[in-house]
Chains A and B, each alone.
Chain A
Amino acid sequence: MNTTKRQKQRKVLLMGKSGAGKSSMRSIVFSNYVAKDVRRLGATIDVEHSNIKFMGNLMLNLWDCGGQDGFVENYLTHQRAHVFSSVAVLIFVFDIESREFAADVISYSSIIRALAEHSPSAAVFVLIHKMDLVQARLRQQLFDERTEYIRSASESFAPTVEFFATSIWDQSLYKAWTQIIYFLIPNARSIEGLLRELAEVVEARELILYERTTCLMVTHVTRDVEAENPFSDRFERISSILKTHKQSMAKHTGIPAGSANFAEMQIKTGRFMFFITRLTENTNLAAAIPPSEQVFNAARINIALARPRFAELDIANKPRPAVQQAFAHSADSGWEGRERESAAAGFEG
């Protein structure tokens, strides 16, 4: 296999003022914490490194940088090259309730300068956090104001920096992280292509690929009518639903939250049918399909058959199984045919 398919190490810096909510956010997204558990977290001392395996072929090298002034000073001076070199993504967290917003922004721009110096190609995501503490009607206005001000301080990153309003109490956190993750996944395009084909075959209205432990969306495919779905935030809502359910199952069954995974969830109603099932080692696939038993059952089988193909994209280093072998038990010859075609076309990332 060529080098592009090897596991990618991506360095992600998580920065922001002390108490802004960096570690809380990290614990919720990556460590199965419930929002109310984060009160237990203490201040982060210096940098906490964590390596998070995401989707098999992506290794997030997450640097949770303690935000107390002394530490920040240190990052910017002694450790400048160490901290800021070869960064893929900088996530900067602002506390919306902070009383020294101007000072926060000054600190932000010095960090941005250091980043521009050592990793000019990095992407910057700014999260305006703790939005739940602001009254609902003021949220948008305040967010816009802050965004504008921060953008003006973003120097060379100003055109590309992305802003998100987040809160650990609702799905906004997942929305932001989904975007970040999407940016980092090396072969998102090829996964998307394969998913689109699968959607055609199983006649799904929508297929959504979720990472298993974090419940973050990797990518999705929406077909036909479903594009008109009025819930444009449905992906992160489902993320949040899945995560909450996982925690509830863990709590009441005594299984550790990391492994309280369901094998399958089905919901059938007169308007739609929906199921989530394990697709690969690291991913779950959610499928929304028309309300028909035949389509539902066929889709389940076809998705089960498509697993090896996705497994291949997922875990890069494993040798690729022969396509014919993987589909030896294929019930749907049409699917198998397409499968060969696409295999021939190649899915190199």
Chain B
Amino acid sequence: MKSTHPPLSASQHSLVPESQLVPGEPSQANPSRLKPGAQLTMMRYLQDLPDAEVPHTEPVPPRFHTGRLPNSKAGDGKPRLLLMGQRRSGKSSISSVVFHKLPPSETLYLETTTRIKKESMHSFMDFQVWDFPGHLDYFDPAFDVDNIFEEIGALIWVIDAQDEYLEAIMRLNTTILNLQHSYPNINVEVFVHKVDGLSEDYKGDTFRDIIQRVQDELSDNGYENAPVSFYQTSIYDHSIFEAFSKVIQKLIPQLPTLEALLNSLCSTCHIEKAYLFDIMSKIYIATDTSPTDIGSYEICSDYIDVVIDVSEIYGWPRSEQNGDDENLTETGNNDAESLITMERKGNNYLYLREINKYLALICLMGDDSPAEKKAVIDYNVGVFQAALKQVFPRAERDAADAPAA
């Protein structure tokens, strides 16, 4: 937390109302704070569906592209993301920024986490985020290790790149080696964090050094080719979201299907790049397989902010009895959609479409896809949406519930 960098502009307009900025307060585990601002239309209520406990009626065959199944006994539990690392490495800041939309500058006021904070995220898939205090030793017999690790989806180990990291690496390796016996399928994701404060060269060196040390030490202990991934992250730019996106994507069994769907949509509509975003967390759960650059992710992510913020301002519930537009048929679409055409970029434009309660499709349109053809694109996106319903049966059920709600 030595970094005193001001927040990125992107987070500025997602400022929470003053009353919520009271330092310390955001860190309380309060699931209801996860909801506001996440919906594009307020017509869709975020119900706390007990879906998490209900197994899929027709389970999707396990086709993890990592070739590994999350370690879940019953197969219907919520995948769990465990945030671990040395104290003051930035774990709570990460979870506040990513899942609570806390402006990065406000994370300076977060208090030290003293006990495990468990938070449930209701989204296109339910998962839990557990934020661990840095000083505990989880392999102390006093801890119920099984309870912590049995449902795990991914173990995210945060290393402060601006600090001495040798001890962090040592603890990481101990953890990996300990877990290897009982839970060999855990995805271990290492976030080399707070890289914003480092110079370009030094950043790369540190990153390589950490990778090298972790892998050397693991192979010294006879654990070759450990399933450990590394990411450079910072809460002051989009890298933390990008890293989380990749972590979450590994936990989505339907990923290959989604990618195939997006690919075919892109080629039919001349879309340059399409992302399927989780609206609430701004994590993208899938994109087409053309090469990704962080720039286009950032544009899309900033664009979601714009749409959500404007929706928040004008989406307030109006009293219906006001008779000023009674003679108008309200033909507003249920799925929010949005479009930005740029002045200087010729035909290039951005297209957003709400897919279901949790997901939005954002496309960067290619040069040869003029805005006049929007009707065709709308139709194709509709087809895509229908296909997605088959992939995520839950979203379909929600859609059926929505009119009743």
Chain A residues with CB under 8 Å of chain B are: 34-36, 132, 135-137, 139, 169-171, 203, 205-206, 224-225, 228-231, 234, 237-238, 240-241, 244-245, 247-249, 251-253, 255, 259-274, 278, 288, 290-295
Contact = CB atoms under 8 A, between A and B. Distances in A.
Interface pairs A-B: 6 shortest CB-CB: A291-B332, A248-B302, A269-B336, A272-B314, A269-B41, A36-B6
A170 B22 CA distance: 16
B201 to A, nearest CB: 22
B331 to A, nearest CB: 5
Contacts of A249: 299, 302, 342
Contact of B6 (A169, A206, A244): A169
30 contacts: A135-B23, A136-B18, A136-B23, A170-B12, A171-B15, A224-B322, A225-B318, A230-B316, A234-B313, A240-B12, A241-B305, A244-B302, A245-B303, A249-B302, A253-B299, A260-B342, A261-B343, A264-B341, A268-B338, A270-B41, A270-B43, A270-B332, A271-B43, A271-B311, A271-B315, A271-B318, A272-B332, A290-B330, A292-B325, A293-B332
A169 B330 contact: no
B158 interface: no
Contact of B316 (A34, A231, A290): A231
A63 B354 CA distance: 47
Given A268-B338, A270-B333, A34 B9 contact: yes
Nearest to A139: B18
Contact of A269 (B21, B40, B303, B309): B40
Contact of B13 (A230, A237, A253, A261): A237
Contacts of B150: none
A276 to B, nearest CB: 9
Nearest to A277: B341
B73 interface: no
A297 B49 CA distance: 38
Contact of A268 (B306, B333, B344): B333
Contact of B298 (A170, A252, A260, A266): A252
Contacts of A230: 316
- Residue of A203, A224, A238, A272 with highest tally of chain B CB at under 10 A: A272
A262 B303 CA distance: 12
B334 interface: yes
B5 interface: yes
B338 A267 contact: yes
Given A225-B319, A263-B341, A271-B43, A248 B10 contact: yes
Interface in B90-109: 103, 105
Contacts, number: 182
Given A169-B105, A244-B10, A292-B325, A272 B315 contact: yes
Interface string B329-353: 1111110111111111100000000
A234 B306 CA distance: 13
Contacts of B317: 271
B19 interface: yes
Contact of A229 (B43, B316, B328): B316
Given A224-B324, A252-B299, A295-B328, A229 B313 contact: yes
A292 B331 CA distance: 5
A206 B40 CA distance: 20
Given A247-B9, A270-B333, A295-B328, 15 more contacts: A34-B9, A203-B325, A248-B10, A249-B342, A253-B345, A255-B345, A262-B343, A263-B341, A263-B343, A265-B306, A266-B338, A268-B338, A269-B354, A288-B314, A292-B329
B245 interface: no
Contacts of B121: none
Contacts of B333: 268-270, 291
B306 A245 contact: yes
B313 A225 contact: no
B43 to A, nearest CB: 5
A136 B105 CA distance: 14
Contact of B332 (A248, A262, A264, A273): A273
B342 A292 contact: no
Given A225-B324, A267-B336, A292-B331, A248 B313 contact: no
B42 interface: yes
Contacts of A237: 13, 309, 313
A247 B319 CA distance: 36
Interface string B216-237: 0000000000000000000000
Contacts of B305: 241, 244-245
A261 B341 CA distance: 9
B313 A268 contact: no
- Residue of A34, A261, A271, A290 with highest tally of chain B CB at under 10 A: A271
Contacts of A206: 314
Contacts of B40: 269
Contacts of B381: none
Contacts of B306: 241, 244-245, 265
Contacts of B315: 269, 271-272
